[in-house]
Structure 1
Amino acid sequence: MVIIEKAPAKINLGLDIAGKCSDGYHKLSMVMVSIDLNDYVTVEACSEDVIKIVSDNNMMPLNKRNDVYKAAYLIKERYSIRSGVSIFLEKRIPVCAGLGGGSSDAAATIRALNKLWQLEMSQEEMIEIGFTIGSDVPYCLKAGCSLISGKGEQVECLNAKVSSWVVLVKPDFGISTRTVFQEIDCDTISRVNIEALKDAILADDYESMIAHMGNSLEDVTIARKPFIRKIKDRMVKCGADVALMTGSGPTVFALCKTEKKADRIVNSMKGFCKEVYKVRIL
């Protein structure tokens, strides 16, 4: 049996750091949406009791440092699976970009192995496994337009449809999420009104939505990589309805109500950065 799962990228319409927990983790409040830029995870049973990972992207570690490997290992251990699995990871989402590629790959692997090994895991069980891998994995298991809180494990699907073209620009450097979070000062970091953003989305009020979008991590990441600010400014100058960094960066996205406007931004940004994508919110 061969199982293929799609792993969509995500963007943060809002990301607020609400404080810090006693265990060192940060309290998050976020609104995320899935976009139609996808990796694909293909799993197939193999005779050896091993986890084999192959990818078409030579930047990916294919060992226990890979989130796909972690997902397979945790499931094998939890359910005492004594058969092996071969996993092919087709990468289309940029790596270390703030687009949740690794987390989405892990979520797709959990879904695929649940089917391959006929485990009948509940969504709560899958989320429990996913959260041990990364804070974005629980969201990626549900996807869509969602409100995320806690340390990332609390996911509330919003009964709303956000319709927009999205232009993604990924500069030619990556950002370590861990190091960004280490530099956060909860007393001075900029805040985002996630509740107002949620209300605007539920009311299908596009103008109010873009007015309340924001990312608490922008100041931290832009202080390290000022080029991100140049990308944002250029996108706005080209007519973007809003331009915002997603996650801990460095990818910046622009929202556009019309494809014509999105095409204009794409044409302008292609001479500025190599990795430019035009996609839709799913």
Structure 2
Amino acid sequence: MSSIELKSRAKINLSIDVLGKREDGYHLVEMIMQTIDLYDIIKIKEIEIDEINIKSNSSDIPLNENNIVYKAAKVLKDQFNVKNGVEIFIEKNIPVAAGMAGGSSNAAAVLVGLNKLWNLNLSEVRLQEIGLKLGADVPFCISGSAALAQGIGEELTYIKGLSKDTVILVCKPNLFVSTKDVYEGLDLQNIKNRPDNKFLIECLKKGNINLLATNMVNVLESVTSKMHEEIKDIEKIMLEHNALGSMMSGSGPTVFGLFDKEEDALNGKGELLKKYNQVYVVRSSEKGVEINGEFN
């Protein structure tokens, strides 16, 4: 019986703009996404019986067909008529329901892993097409790096991302935020402050992280921060510890800060840990999914 182990990485948003809403309810977005080196470990092994079994060290995720990982395995199994069963173990390190694409990243890893395990020989582009049916963030999580995402998040233009010199402090308060509620709470006609994504992409290209950090905008933050004062509290602490800039990722509630000195980020982490228990100091990553130490 064969097995495979993968790293599935989280993302942060360096900007989010919402441009409108489609008739099917999906919102049209324009946002910059960046993979970071905070990852879950996904272990996949073939089993004798023709089933998909999900196991995890986390009690915060479903272990049945409601998990996007189950759906990812099932879509490949059905599409390519694979009769082998699999057991998938998810070692969770990425905070759950955090605005960091943890679930999408896990699904991406399962698509990449099973493609190799079952010798399906699908290209990255084909895997991304399959991934899109599971969720708008899955295609980006397969490739990783940094990209401008448009449409509903599936139209990706790859760009130069944060350099490894930039230190990223991430804090997830112990809150649950409904993405649906946040989007519904956004008044599309009255968004006062929107990100200038062209300018931000230029900042990344030139490596001007100071300018990037002070011009990051997430239009969803105005909604989420009204519901939860912790978001502004975390940003304040990060800025007091010399963050170049701090912002909410996704629809929240995770907040990140960009630093040019690791010492400042570690001091900020120490302060945040007095109030919050999910705090990480990480760097950017050039890849979303990694197989057994090798990139896909």
TM-score range, shorter chain: over 0.9
Q: Is the 8 A contact 2:131 2:139 kept in 1?
A: yes
How big is the shift at 1:161? 4.5
For residue 90 of structure 2, what is the aligned residue in structure 1?
Answer: 89
Cα distance in structure 2, aligned partners of 1:263 and 1:234: 12
Cα deviation code 1:63-85 (max 9, x no counterpart): 11111011011111111212211
For residue 279 of structure 1, what is the aligned residue in structure 2?
Answer: 282
- Aligned to 1:215, the other structure's residue is in SS state coil
CA distance change for structure 1 residues 106 and 195 in 2, over 3 Å: closer, same or farther?
A: same
Unaligned runs of 5+ in 2: 286-296
For residue 178 of structure 2, what is the aligned residue in structure 1?
Answer: 176
Cα deviation code 1:187-246 (max 9, x no counterpart): 123421111111111122222211321111101111111221111122212221111101
Equivalent pairs, count: 282
Cα deviation code 1:55-104 (max 9, x no counterpart): 01111101111110110111111112122111111111110111111010
For residue 115 of structure 1, what is the aligned residue in structure 2?
Answer: 116
Matches within 5 A, 1:178-217: 178-189=180-191, 190-217=193-220
- Aligned to 2:222, the other structure's residue is in SS state helix
Asked if 1:240 is matched to 2:243, the reply is yes
Q: Please give the TM-score of this superposition, normalised by the length of structure 2.
A: 0.92
Cα distance in structure 1, aligned partners of 2:262 and 2:184: 38
Cα distance in structure 2, aligned partners of 1:160 and 1:4: 26
Q: Which amino acid aligns with 1:177?
A: T
Q: Is the 8 A contact 1:104 1:137 kept in 2?
A: yes
Q: Is the 8 A contact 1:127 1:153 kept in 2?
A: no
- Aligned to 1:81, the other structure's residue is in SS state coil
Asked if 1:265 is matched to 2:268, the reply is yes
CA distance change for structure 1 residues 69 and 244 in 2, over 3 Å: closer, same or farther?
A: same
Cα distance in structure 1, aligned partners of 2:48 and 2:263: 52
How big is the shift at 1:25? 1.0
- Aligned to 2:89, the other structure's residue is in SS state strand
Cα distance in structure 1, aligned partners of 2:242 and 2:125: 42
Identity %: 37
Cα distance in structure 2, aligned partners of 1:193 and 1:92: 32
Matches within 5 A, 1:1-282: 1-163=2-164, 164-189=166-191, 190-282=193-285
Which is worse superposed, 73-82 or 86-95?
A: 73-82
Runs of 4+ in 1 over 6 A off after TM superposition: none
Which is worse superposed, 104-113 or 123-132?
A: 123-132
Cα distance in structure 2, aligned partners of 1:78 and 1:180: 35
Q: Is the 8 A contact 1:71 1:109 kept in 2?
A: yes
Cα distance in structure 2, aligned partners of 1:243 and 1:136: 22
RMSD: 1.3
Unaligned runs of 5+ in 1: none
Cα distance in structure 1, aligned partners of 2:184 and 2:196: 23
